[in-house]
Amino acid sequence: KRANAQRDAVAMAVWAARRDPVYGVHWLPATPKRIEFVGHVARKFDSDGLQAALKSIRDGMQDCRMIHSDGLNSGHEFVYSQVTGKPYGVTITVSLRAG
């Protein structure tokens, strides 16, 4: 249930950002992107724990068609970091990947 809620929340946030008339994003899903996830957490995860905790968030990026795939050959770069403290959640930054 939590994973589905997280995926839905990401999809809704991305769709809202894409519709913004000033800052709207209109990249095709296959356009190579750099996607940074910053987890705002109570206690630090180890590196593979953080990626596992954010898996449904990353999957939500596919659900809303911001990316076409999250596989190794997708052309997208995924970067993870974390900070401790409230408010808890995830900050996602998407930029075009340098050629």
Residues 57-88 have pLDDT tens digits of: 999 999 888 999 999 999 999 999 999 999 99
Q: Is 2 a residue whose pLDDT tops 90?
A: no
* pTM recorded for the entire structure: 0.86
Burial class (CB in 10 A: 0-12, 13-18, 19+), 88: exposed
Q: Residue 96 and residue 93: Cα distance in Å, rounded?
A: 10
- Is the pLDDT at 99 greater than 70, yes or no? no
Show the CA angle centred on residue 27, arms to residues 48 and 62, nearest 5°: 40
> 58: helix, coil or strand?
helix
Phi then psi dihedrals of residue 19, to 5 deg: -85, -10
Q: Is 51 helix (H, G, I), strand (E, B) or coil?
A: helix
